[in-house]
Amino acid sequence: MQAISEFLKKHPVRLRSVKVPDRDDVDWPGEGASHYVCILVHDGRHLLTYYSIGGAHPNPPGADDVLNCLASDAASVESARDFAGWCSEFGSNKDSIRERRAFRACRRQVDKLMRLLGEEVYEELLFETERL
């Protein structure tokens, strides 16, 4: 297993982020959170995503932080056969419309991450790179 820092040395990903007051895609619970719109760039391709972090973290995210988060979400989708399996993994209600939306959002994010990195590099990130 390689560290995310080693992965980024082999497969440079640039990050541009802008702090925003809140997210328009989900309600984020908790006071003091910081939200960012992030653009990851790799080999001329880009991925636009939100990244939120609790108030105890005063610094903006790095590419390693955002990739780690995306990889964790992607691994949860990849390890589940379907929505019911994903719900079972997280103890979520498979009859919940909100949970189904969350699963679909993760699935779309998986597709975006795979397009950004390409299938081989995507699999290296998910299956050969330690997450923080």
The CA distance from 63 to 6, in Å, is 12
118 falls within a domain: yes
CA 72 to chain CA centroid, Å, is: 6
In DSSP terms, 15 is beta-bridged to 40
Give the per-residue pLDDT at 29.
Answer: 65
pLDDT in tens, the chain (132 residues): 999 999 999 999 999 999 988 787 776 666 778 899 999 999 999 999 999 888 888 889 999 999 999 999 898 888 887 888 888 887 888 788 888 888 888 889 999 999 999 999 999 999 999 987
Indicate whether 132 belongs to any domain: no
Q: Using CB atoms within 10 A of its CB, is residue 42 exposed (0-12), middle (13-18) or buried (19+)?
A: buried
**Residue numbers of the domain that contains 103:** 4-127
Antiparallel, parallel or unpaired: β 14-20 and 45-53:
unpaired
Structurally, how many domains does the chain consist of? 1
Tell me if 58 is assigned to some domain: yes
